[in-house]
Chain A
């Protein structure tokens, strides 16, 4: 077992890699009641074409299969109701899927080790049948409808779809009802066996616990199971072009007033140094906060001048080699607002004062991460998913990043590749 001290926080992170390749990370939170374990695979909706374990040819799977698989790991041959089992031990059990990960977790205050073993066993004992796969299609169908029912979510979904050409980022994580109809139990086993090997997974434990006991419990559990030897997973690589797939689209939805969304897609150079990548993420987020956030007055001016009705939101998705900036609003004067966004993005002004203020905010938010078991867990999972390790001196990174570095990170951003979505009111029923 190794440990790393987190700078300025007075905390140690304990970590180790087991013989089967599983990485285990423990963060101790003395005085806190909550104990939690997150069992995470580096597999989400983006990995849809790959060479399944034991095979030699690239194979394509129905969209939404990673999310479908997440639902199905709650089934067992013995018909165990896992939700009941965990509740019996005072634990809350759940799971989630995103583009690049799927995770299963519980949160409890007592019976931690029973729950930990049960979580690992649940995830490592798949049981798929034709019947239980069919049953899930109705449930997931309603989950898809729940998200599609929200017009704001639809703006995001459509912008992603139209911004990306080849990357599976364009597709909804859950797929469509049509996609999930095609999923079979054989598909699920192939995906499971490929991506749920311990060497593609990690387990994060946070709580007022003894690190030795945590490692021993996990090692004992894993040593009683047989796994294939760790192997390299080959997934299809997508050469995503700079241009967007579709420049504009108009759809109708359940809205009271017309809404617009814009996505600006840009390619960025993949950085091999994780600290550089971490700093660049901070720089891009800060750039957007300065231009459109609480100090900019941008939204207030748009409302005051009757250019938008009531809101103007911005958000971003920052990957290793791309950035997607999204704006959405109930715009009244589309041409004017669009040109103001473009002007704002390209405006070359001194942002030093704002940059220094957001640096302070970043330090504060980083420190606050460590006062909540939930946010500690999220931070550790982000680090392991993105970088395969903890960056221990984020405090110093935020303290020492200079304005010149900030300017350098953002100067190469190209705002020319855009897509627009307009959502209009459906006719009354």
Chain B
């Protein structure tokens, strides 16, 4: 593997020459400080852009082009990382060794058209595409309680985030205020005012010209802090909402305070792995194996948000018992064993190594490591192997169980 770094128009480009895959994949990122309404506008933008463009003004025509180029694949996404909003666009196509000459150039052309030449008339997106995207988003928002787990997680974040970006989520009220004109302006804002990066991986990708993508593109720099620190409340904040579903979802939120960069990068993954990272973690063992209360109980950390979420699906009548058990498990983290630390480090090391077998991971973690100012995978493995039992136990005083959100279902099935 060879990594080559370059710049075009000040835009950082990373080429990862890796020859074990049969595809080539690239990703273009647009990053800027987040605003609440972006959860709606940026989601609409990504859906409209990927559905058609000026050159291929219907989804059918765009898809014909994809299929002609051996099922070239384009996707787009929006996500929040701490205080920043990130829109990204991905292409993936077969290496020409397995397809035909010029496939990659054709794919770069279509990728360019999708992002920079949208289906726009008179300063607005094509009306049909706009209404299709808004209708779909509206319907998704109206049915958000159908996915009980995701809804409960969102509500927990809303509860824990106060007025920070953690509490932001797409809302119908915001969607109602969006117009086609305002959405197009937001698209131009994304293109013209973002910090831009491009990563590409595959066989000899540094020999391919991607210049077209950067012809009229510029990048900006933002110095807003990435991480979000919210207040630790004086008392435990419990909320219950009832709904018509079968299963009840219990989510518990933990806040992290004053973790050093070393702790949040290397110690926190080990802590989380012991607490609720998998089937040998304490939460799984206590809630599922010893008490048969749930099919799964796991925890997930968001280091840029300084928080950990615990999620479990249970019967409504077991709410108090499960909540008590979860809190007891979190409190038991004051002491961990050498075996647990060793086991977690081994598992994390293994998954870091294995992540090199997915082409996407060659472009995504490199971006992440840039974003977080971290090291490459080999250095990460070395650092994580240095984490000690004492390091993990020290986190205990920096982690607070602050919130729970219980999405209470009705009767369970027979």
The residue among B145, B279, B356 with the most chain A CB atoms within 10 A of its own CB is B279
Residue pair B247, A87 in contact (C-beta under 8 Å): no
Residue pair B413, A177 in contact (C-beta under 8 Å): yes
Say if the beta carbon of B230 comes within 8 Å of chain A: no
Q: Of all chain A residues, which has the CB nearest B100?
A: A360
Residue pair B357, A367 in contact (C-beta under 8 Å): no
**CA separation between A372 and B362, bound complex, in Å?**
14
Residue pair A148, B347 in contact (C-beta under 8 Å): no
Q: Quote the shortest CB–CB distance from B253 to chain A (angstroms).
A: 21
Say if the beta carbon of A33 comes within 8 Å of chain B: yes
Say if the beta carbon of A62 comes within 8 Å of chain B: no
Say if the beta carbon of A138 comes within 8 Å of chain B: yes
- Say yes or no: A372-B358 contact (C-beta < 8 A), given A146-B247, A426-B244: yes
Residue pair A300, B346 in contact (C-beta under 8 Å): no
Of residues 238 through 280 on chain B, the ones whose CB sits less than 8 Å from some CB of chain A are 242-247, 278-280
Say if the beta carbon of B45 comes within 8 Å of chain A: no
B142: A residues at CB distance < 8 A: 256-257
Q: Quote the shortest CB–CB distance from A369 to chain B (angstroms).
A: 9
Q: Of all chain B residues, which has the CB nearest A370?
A: B22
Say if the beta carbon of A365 comes within 8 Å of chain B: yes
Say if the beta carbon of B83 comes within 8 Å of chain A: no
**CA separation between A257 and B136, bound complex, in Å?**
13
Residue pair B412, A176 in contact (C-beta under 8 Å): no
- Say yes or no: A90-B94 contact (C-beta < 8 A), given A148-B413, A371-B20: no
Residue pair A372, B313 in contact (C-beta under 8 Å): no
Residue pair B23, A149 in contact (C-beta under 8 Å): no
Q: Quote the shortest CB–CB distance from B16 to chain A (angstroms).
A: 14
Q: Which residue of A33, A177, A253, A360 is within 8 Å of B354 (Cβ)?
A: A33
Say if the beta carbon of A83 comes within 8 Å of chain B: yes
Q: Which residue of A143, A300, A309, A361 is within 8 Å of B70 (Cβ)?
A: A361
Say if the beta carbon of B349 comes within 8 Å of chain A: yes
**CA separation between A372 and B22, bound complex, in Å?**
9
Say if the beta carbon of A151 comes within 8 Å of chain B: yes
B313: A residues at CB distance < 8 A: 142, 145-146, 149
Say if the beta carbon of B135 comes within 8 Å of chain A: yes
A-B contact count (CB 8 A): 184
Among the stretches A107-115, A270-278, A403-411, the one at the interface with B is A107-115
A257: B residues at CB distance < 8 A: 139, 142-143
- Chain B 113-155, CB-CB to A under 8 Å as 1, else 0, gives 0000000000000001000100110111011011110000000
Residue pair A254, B280 in contact (C-beta under 8 Å): no
B67: A residues at CB distance < 8 A: 295, 357-358, 360-361
Residue pair B71, A144 in contact (C-beta under 8 Å): no
B414: A residues at CB distance < 8 A: 176-178
List, sorted by A's number, 26 A–B pairs whose CB atoms are closer than 8 Å. A8-B98, A34-B354, A81-B285, A84-B280, A87-B343, A87-B347, A94-B279, A108-B350, A108-B354, A136-B292, A140-B295, A142-B294, A142-B295, A142-B315, A178-B414, A253-B244, A295-B67, A303-B136, A309-B139, A311-B136, A364-B98, A371-B21, A371-B359, A372-B358, A427-B244, A429-B244
With contacts A142-B315, A309-B139 known, what are 14 further pairs, Cβ within 8 A?
Answer: A31-B20, A33-B356, A81-B280, A87-B343, A109-B350, A138-B293, A142-B294, A151-B146, A254-B145, A294-B59, A310-B136, A330-B143, A360-B68, A429-B244
Chain B interface (Cβ < 8 Å from any Cβ of A):
19-23, 58-60, 63-64, 67-68, 70-71, 94, 98-99, 128, 132, 135-136, 138-140, 142-143, 145-148, 242-247, 278-280, 284-285, 288, 292-295, 313-315, 339, 342-344, 346-347, 349-351, 353-354, 356-359, 409-410, 412-414
